[in-house]
Structure 1
Amino acid sequence: MCGIVGYIGKRNAQSILVEGLKKLEYRGYDSAGIAMFTTDGLQVRKAKGRLAVLESNLETAPLEGTVGIGHTRWATHGKPSDVNSHPHTDGSMKFSVVHNGIIENYLELKEELIAQGHRFVSETDTEVISHLISREYDGDIVKAVQRAIRHMRGAYALGVLTEYEPDRLVAVRNASPLIIGIGDGEHYIGSDIPAILEHTRDVFILNDGEMAVLTKDAVELMTIEGNFISREMIYVDWDVARAEKAGFDHFMLKEIHEQPKAYRDTMRGRIDEEGRSVILPELKMTANDIRAIRNVHIVACGTAYHAGLIGKTVLENCARLPVEVDVASEYRYRSPLITPETLVIVVSQSGETADTLAALREAKRCGARVLAITNVVGSSVAREADDVLITWAGPEIAVASTKAYTSQLIAFYLFGLYCAQTLGTQDAAWIAEVLAALQSLPEQVENMLEQAETVRAYAEEIAQHEHLFFIGRGVDYAVVMEGSLKLKEISYIHSEAYAAGELKHGTLALIEDGIPVIALATQSALLEKTVSNIKEVKARGAVVLGISDTGHVAALGKAVDHVLAIPATHPLLTPALSVVPLQLLAYYASLARGNDVDKPRNLAKSVTVE
């Protein structure tokens, strides 16, 4: 979730760029930098770490000029470092680029450029873009950018400068947000409104496949093919705090709505163009390494542990491997049976979770191969694991995890299908069917989010209660465990999740007249069983909200007081949909109780102590 800011005008650009980057710090970053035109030509300053490091460097050697671009980086390709920081330049230092997104075919392009004599200094995909533009340049930076992006596959928001045309700043959007700010004799680009809100409230929002050419006196909007377009200017009436949340009232709500993008980003470049197989080039494990696996341990904490429970079902169904799931804080102390044929999968949003990191080290000490699923490139977990699958959720600001959790599910689906391909445990038609359904998930979540007010009405009802139960069977049980945790985290309502078939073994004693029960029932094979369990709590006075897919909701609706439908998908994938209304339920219940949604009491985002 990198940040971009750019300026062209009459004032000194350095302070405008740095202040703009400060307004984007909430997005999360590991390094920062700026590039400006000066009397000495194109100059770049960048540094790993917080913006304060960059500011210190600029105090020592300030830049003077009226045109520049800036960037805060969230590492994707290459660890956090000075050299991997943006902006990136070509070998001649005549072209500079800032980039949000991922270039899927960067390795192929890099090899081509190296063969043509280009030399690279970073590990990033972005550096390829500056070299491509340099290669394509023939006196017109706009045409050079247009030709360069024809070679690129992936997602990108770009800010581009060239020393040859210091009076122009080029911006491009494809699947990564970018806005244009309009001033008086000056113009701006930004990846988000807060970056420029101090200077202007008049903006153009670029759509995918569009670009803008900025001078200090004018802005031209066009398609990436070069066709000029007109666009109505938008006046931003948000305050800065709300602008940081993209107009949402809280970061948690914003991050719930960012899940479709997080799904797409985590899948991007990992499914072949025909959509029939999974590609995981970042994994070092060979086909023989996968064939050597005899059992799998999934180790995580909290929400990541719940993702691991889904991962168990995925791997057992796809790869037919026996899987155990452990809470990381318990794993080391039970003397787990680890052999060199054990694959240990550790899951951590931050990559710094102390208990998970300790479990990783214990697994390696015992000779296991370790695969990390994490959201942070260069984190301790990512560095110490043998293999890493990065989830491209971007930074989460809210303490209660939403998009990080669902991105972990996507990573498990991809890895499970990858193992199935390698081991031959599922045929190609089945894999293609699941992949087709997987790629439909983002749009399905978008459709669900349009119905958020339906969930809000029920959440405001349960906000009046102090106790609540969730029930489900199979993967639904794993999902309601996450739903219960979300509700506890931010609403402070006492809630418990139970495997529905276990109710009669004690829990029914807690069911009394009027108590809310949320029943998740998305699995055809278990629907009748779950309905029977619902009738048990209904007979004792519970008020039941039933959640199922569109194919089963009618049957479920006859047994419950309220019913909510989610889109139908492959049974293995339902957790990526069914958790969304549970996230919204927790959010709106917390809101109704007047709590601080983003910063619940007694909790921290990253748990770095045991």
Structure 2
Amino acid sequence: MCGIIGYVGNKKAAPILLEGLRLLAYRGYDSCGIATSTIDELHVKKDVGEVEKVDAKLDFSQMPGFLGIAHSRWASVGRVTKANAHPHLDCKKGIAVVHNGTITNYPKLKKMLERKGHVFISETDSEIIPHLIEDFMNSGRDLKSAAVNALKMIEGDYSVLVIMKGFDGIIASRRGLPLVLGVASHGMFAASDIPAFLKHTKKVVYLQDNDFVVLKPSNFSVFNLFDMKKARRRVDSVDWRASEIGKKGFEHYMLKEIGEQLGVVKRLERSDPSEIKSFARFLKNADETFLVGCGTSYNACLAAKYVFLRVSDFRINPILASELVNYLRFITRKTVVVALSQSGETADVLDALKKVKGKCKTIGVVNVKGSSLTRQVDKTFLLNAGPELAVASTKVYAAQVCFLSMVAYSLENNYNEGKKNLNYLWNVIYYLTSRTMKNRIKELAFKIKNTSSIFLVGNDSLYPTALEAALKIKEVSYIHAEGLVGSELKHGPLALIEKGTPCIFFVEDESILAAIAEVKARKGYVIGVSPKNNSFFDFWIKVPSVENLNSIVQMIPMQLLAYELSVIRGFNPDKPRNLAKSVTVK
């Protein structure tokens, strides 16, 4: 879940790498560092903290050299310390490595290297790599051969970049974790994600597992790690614009991306209907369909289930990706597994797909072209929501639910009806992201900012909304939040309701009024999210009904609430503690 970037070219490397680190910060912000290389020396700066704070202390931009590598860390093996920050060096301080992933056999390799006299200064598994390379070079191999042999010894998934003083390029390789090349007029890039270099080029090369790459200032060569035969990898182009990755005057990415849901809906409304109808044909021919995802993507699966139930005669089965293993005996050649992921790199989703590979048809619904998920499925559908850089997903949730709702309508040959709903949804989102609504939500945030728990309750299609709203509040404000079905309140959670406990109710019809009355009787603070006010409400958030897409419109005020709570409580909503955007470890 760390972010890595490398650059070699005719421009000074350090400012470019620093810019890339800022754009990879959503992948980890426990520590960061940069290594650059000149003819006779490696230059390394690193420390604990977010990129901006470390840069203010170390002044990364002043580092010399026209090639280098950089890393933003999400700690998995080893504590958050300067010694554990990347880049890591060998004993002679001539080789530098940045690494994303987990080396599962590192204790064994470390003992072997220590017996040979290697001295380690960190607790990380990553430090194994430069020492292994050094060990092979001690036996007479060159950097390329030594790196190949070192990587062959590693067990686990990784993406890795290697530089050495005196070497005029970068070694790059991946297995199971993302690494994409960028081909610019002034040099070559390798990074975890495209936004890290999008300002410089839209030309990209999507690497495959066990690709081993040598990057030079004006070219690259790709080999298979195990037989070192040359591999052909085409140069592709991305549709994203560099302007999409900036904050555009917003204080945080999260607030910007909440507002960008307008564009998400409009793009889907105007998209080629053949893609959605093609998806529908896949499902029509299936005996059973499973929707799998994690976190927000799983909640989108749940929300989609209710749309399918309401507008079609087709049943789908939402399942947490990590739980799909328990359903393997029900999967046949006539089954379709649909995997949802923003990044296309979610470890549990990829693992689930591996378990069903060859047993059924698989479809990926993903926001990142060329991601690992796109190479594991039989068919890919891109959401085209644009880059999402805040850790907490907002606009991609809307994209996922809208896309699947259009599939549901298409199953019943009602594509145009679904499109009409999207058009009305766009108008409602325009109101929900207005300054008036933002001020209303900020008023609520100030009222409940000091609470220890928030309960969010929704029936039927709004139950997934309650779950997703609770997740957003937990993620960025660190307030305990729990999503519930109204009927479940009296089966335990009601015991936690005290005077003033905030309880947010998502109201679609009168079926939830009994649950509201129960909370009101215990003097809970009732917040209603609904088209109409009610005497039970202590605070009302007016949200027009969009029928089968209420799971989206009632979610947007909650995204704003989570954001405002985070800011008011003094946190950075873009970078919640202990979390990262791409969950690439299980």
Normalising by structure 2, what TM-score?
A: 0.61
Specify the alignment match of 1:101 in structure 2.
Answer: none
Alignment partner of 1:341 is 2:334: yes
Match of 2:102 in 1: none
Please say if 1:280 is aligned against 2:275. yes
What's the counterpart of residue 227 of structure 1?
Answer: none
Q: Which residue matches 1:401?
A: 393
Q: Counterpart of 1:577? A: 553
Q: Quick one: which of 439, 454, 462 aligns to 1:468?
A: 454
TM alignment of 1:74-113, pairs within 5 A: none
Matching residue of 1:250: 252
Partners in 2 of 1:393 and 1:25 — Cα distance? 22
Describe the SS at the equivalent of 2:412: helix
Q: Distance in 1 between matches of 2:199 and 2:505?
A: 49
Which of these residues, 378, 388, 400, is aligned with residue 370 of structure 2?
378
Q: 2:541 aligned to 561, 564, 569, which one? A: 564
CA deviation map 1:118-144 (0-9, x unaligned): xxx987698xxxxxxxxxxxxxxxxxx
Given the superposition, is the C-alpha separation of residues 336 and 315 from structure 1 closer, same or farther in structure 2, using an over 3 Å criterion?
farther
Structure 2 residue identity aligned to 1:280: E
**In the alignment, residue 438 of structure 2 is paired with which amino acid?**
A
Cα-to-partner distance string for 1:250-299 (whole Å, 9 max, x where unaligned): 111111111111222234323xxxxxxx321794x684x54321221111
Take 2:276 and 2:565, find their aligned partners in 1: how far apart are those partners? 42
What residue number does 1:261 align with?
A: 263
Structure 1 residues 33-48: aligned runs within 5 Å: none
SS of residue in 1 equivalent to 2:575? coil
Say whether 1:314 aligns with 2:443. Answer: no
C-alpha distance 291-434 of structure 1, shift in aligned 2 (>3 A): closer
Q: Distance in 1 between matches of 2:458 and 2:270?
A: 32
Report the Cα distance in structure 2 between the residues aligned to 1:533 and 1:379, rounded to whole angstroms. Answer: 43
Give the equivalent residue in structure 2 for 1:302.
295
Cα pair distance change 1:592/1:125, threshold 3 Å: closer
Amino acid at match of 2:380: V
User: What letter corresponds to residue 607 of structure 1 in structure 2?
Assistant: V
C-alpha distance in 1 between matches for 2:237 and 2:185: 20
Tell whether the 8 Å contact from 1:347 to 1:372 is kept in structure 2 after alignment.
Answer: yes
Question: Partners of 1:125 and 1:608 in 2: how far apart?
Answer: 23
d(CA) in 2 for partners of 1:74, 1:606? 22
- In structure 2, what is the equivalent of residue 547 of structure 1? 529
Amino acid at match of 1:606: S
How far did 1:71 drift?
4.9
Give SS of 1:72's match.
coil
The residue aligned with 1:537 is: 519
Give the conservation status (yes or no) of the 8 Å contact 2:202–2:237. Answer: no
Structure 1 residue runs of 5 or longer lacking an equivalent are 1-13, 29-47, 59-68, 82-120, 127-155, 158-189, 195-243, 271-277, 422-427
Residue of structure 2 in register with 1:605 after alignment:
581
CA shift, 1:339, in A, is 1.4
Q: Which position in structure 2 is the counterpart of 1:596? A: 572
CA distance in 2, matches of 1:257, 1:565: 18
Q: 1:607 to 1:336 in 2, by over 3 A?
A: farther
Answer yes or no: is the 8 Å Cα contact 1:267–1:410 preserved in 2. Answer: no
Post-superposition Cα deviations, 1:131-183, rounded to whole Å, max 9, x if no partner, equal xxxxxxxxxxxxxxxxxxxxxxxxx98xxxxxxxxxxxxxxxxxxxxxxxxxx
Q: For this pair of structures, how many residues does the alignment match?
A: 390
How far 1:70 sits from its partner (Å)? 7.2
> Against the structure 1 CA distance between its residues 248 and 24, is the aligned structure 2 distance closer, same or farther, given a 3 Å change threshold?
farther
The equivalent residue for 1:130 is none
What amino acid is the match of 1:418? S
Aligned equivalents of 1:536 and 1:329: distance in 2? 35
Counterpart of 2:152 in structure 1 is: none
- 1:391 aligned onto 2:362: no
| In structure 2, distance between residues paired with 1:123 and 1:377 | 10
Specify the alignment match of 1:178 in structure 2: none
Q: Which amino acid aligns with 1:433?
A: E
Percent of matched pairs sharing the same residue: 33
Aligned pair 1:442/2:426, yes or no? yes
Please tell me the residue identity of whatever aligns with 1:313.
Y
- Give me the whole-angstrom Cα distance separating, in 2, the residues matched to 1:333 and 1:543: 40
2:406 is aligned, of 414, 419, 437, to 414
* Structure 2 CA distance for partners of 1:318 and 1:27, relative to 1, 3 Å: farther
1:252 & 1:343 partners in 2: Cα distance?
A: 33
**CA 1:80–1:521 in 2, change beyond 3 Å: closer, same or farther?**
farther
C-alpha displacement at 1:326, in angstroms?
Answer: 1.0
Please point out which of 348, 353, 357 is paired with 1:355.
348
Compared CA separation, residues 398 and 286, structure 1 to 2 (3 A): closer
